[in-house]
C-alpha cells in the first residue's frame, strides 16, 4: 500500500472524527484528562460541523481540508484515515492561512503522514497566502517538535480557553 493525500469528502467524516478522537487521547489525556478530551472532540469534531467544514473547503479557493490514507492499486480510496488537515483564512488577515487542524492517528506517528499533509497544504496554498499560522498547546512536546522541524517559527505564547492556566504557542511559516 502507498500513502495518499487528497481533498476530504463528506464520506470521510466518520473516519476523520475517529482519527481526531484517537490522536487527541494520545496527545492530551495526561494534560486534560480523558473526559475533557472526549468533550472537546465531541464539540470540535461534531459530525455536522465536519460536514460543513469539508463542504466549505471544497467550494473555496482559500480553504483546504485534506485527508491522508492508505491507497491500494485496485481501490483508489480504500484506506483508513491516517491523518487530516484543514486551513482557512485567518479572520483578521486574509493573507494568512490558519492551520486549524493537523492531526495524525497515533499508530502512524513519526511515519511522515503529518509531513505529507503539510507539504500538500503548502503547495495548494502558496499562491493564496503569504504564510501559515497555527496554535499548539505549549505542553504538546510532540506537536511543537513537529512544527519546529517543519520550519515554523514561534511568534508568541498566549492563554487558551481549554483549561485554566493552559497556554498555547502560536507558530508561523512563510509560504
Residue spans of the domains in the chain: they are 2-129
Helix (H/G/I), strand (E/B), else coil: 40: helix
CATH fold, domain 2-129, is Aminopeptidase (3.40.630)
In Å, what is the CA distance from 90 to each residue of 26, 29, 164, 168?
Answer: 28, 28, 25, 17
Residue where the block lists cell 485534506: 66
CB 8 within 8 A of CB 54: yes
Tens of pLDDT, residue by residue over 128-155, are 999 999 999 999 999 999 999 999 999 9
Tens of pLDDT, residue by residue over 94-118, are 899 999 999 999 999 999 999 999 9
Average pLDDT value over all residues in the chain? 91
Residue spans of alpha helices (H) in 81-161? 113-125, 141-149
**Environment class of 36 (CB within 10 Å of its CB; exposed 0-12, middle 13-18, buried 19+):** middle
- According to DSSP, residue 75 is labeled -
Strand runs labelled E in 28-166:
64-71, 81-90, 93-104, 131-137, 153-159
In Å, what is the CA distance from 164 to each residue of 52, 154, 160?
Answer: 30, 22, 8
Mean pLDDT within 13-19 = 94
- pTM of this prediction? 0.90
Amino acid at each position: 500500500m502507498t500513502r495518499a493525500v487528497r481533498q476530504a469528502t463528506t464520506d470521510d467524516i466518520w473516519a476523520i472524527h475517529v482519527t481526531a478522537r484517537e490522536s487527541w487521547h494520545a496527545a492530551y489525556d495526561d494534560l486534560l484528562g480523558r473526559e475533557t478530551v472526549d468533550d472537546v472532540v465531541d464539540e470540535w469534531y461534531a459530525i455536522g460541523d465536519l460536514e460543513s467544514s469539508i463542504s466549505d473547503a471544497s467550494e473555496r479557493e482559500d480553504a483546504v481540508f485534506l485527508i491522508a490514507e492508505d491507497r491500494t492499486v485496485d481501490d483508489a480510496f480504500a484506506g483508513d484515515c491516517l491523518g487530516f488537515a484543514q486551513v482557512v483564512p485567518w479572520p483578521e488577515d486574509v493573507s494568512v492561512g490558519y492551520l486549524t487542524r493537523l492531526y495524525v492517528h497515533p499508530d502512524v506517528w513519526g511515519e511522515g503522514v503529518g509531513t505529507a499533509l503539510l507539504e500538500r497544504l503548502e503547495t495548494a496554498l502558496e499562491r493564496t497566502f503569504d504564510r501559515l499560522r497555527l496554535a499548539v498547546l505549549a505542553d504538546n512536546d510532540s506537536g511543537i517538535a513537529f512544527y519546529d522541524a517543519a520550519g515554523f517559527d514561534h511568534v508568541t505564547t498566549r492563554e487558551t480557553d481549554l483549561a485554566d492556566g493552559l497556554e498555547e504557542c502560536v507558530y508561523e511559516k512563510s509560504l
